[in-house]
Amino acid sequence: DGGITQSPKYLFRKEGQNVTLSCEQNLNHDAMYWYRQDPGQGLRLIYYSQIVNDFQKGDIAEGYSVSREKKESFPLTVTSAQKNPTAFYLCASSMAGYLNQPQHFGDGTRLSIL
């Protein structure tokens, strides 16, 4: 059953702590993306990667970091430098970014501050 799997579904962070959100896809997609969604708002792009071992900053990259060591995996770390991390985080993937292929999304991780 192909798709995008995000884990965990819910995550809690203490002040000053880094946390990592997992995103795995078995769709053989080249491009992967991380978005942040705040209540009542649309999605904003954090980071994206069009190919393994390469990634680019999106519109709101400050306080976040990513890696792309494998084609199927694109973990997002929310660092202590991100002062307002409470949000719904969505991972997406597409065949290849430059080919106008629509993105498909996982079911998200909701991050809250303790």
Q: How far apart are CA 69 and CA 64, in angstroms?
A: 17
Window 54 to 83, contacts with other proteins (CB under 8 A)? 56, 58
Residue 113 neighbours by CB distance under 10 Å? 12
Q: How far apart are CA 28 and CA 96, in angstroms?
A: 10
Q: From the list 67, 73, 80, 101, which residue makes contact with other proteins (rule: CB under 8 A)?
A: 101
Under the binding rule (CB under 8 A), the answer on residue 104 touching other proteins is: yes
Residue-level length of the chain = 114
Q: Interface with other proteins by CB under 8 A: which range of 11-19, 63-71, 73-81, 103-111? A: 103-111
Beta carbon nearer to other proteins, 16 or 100: 100
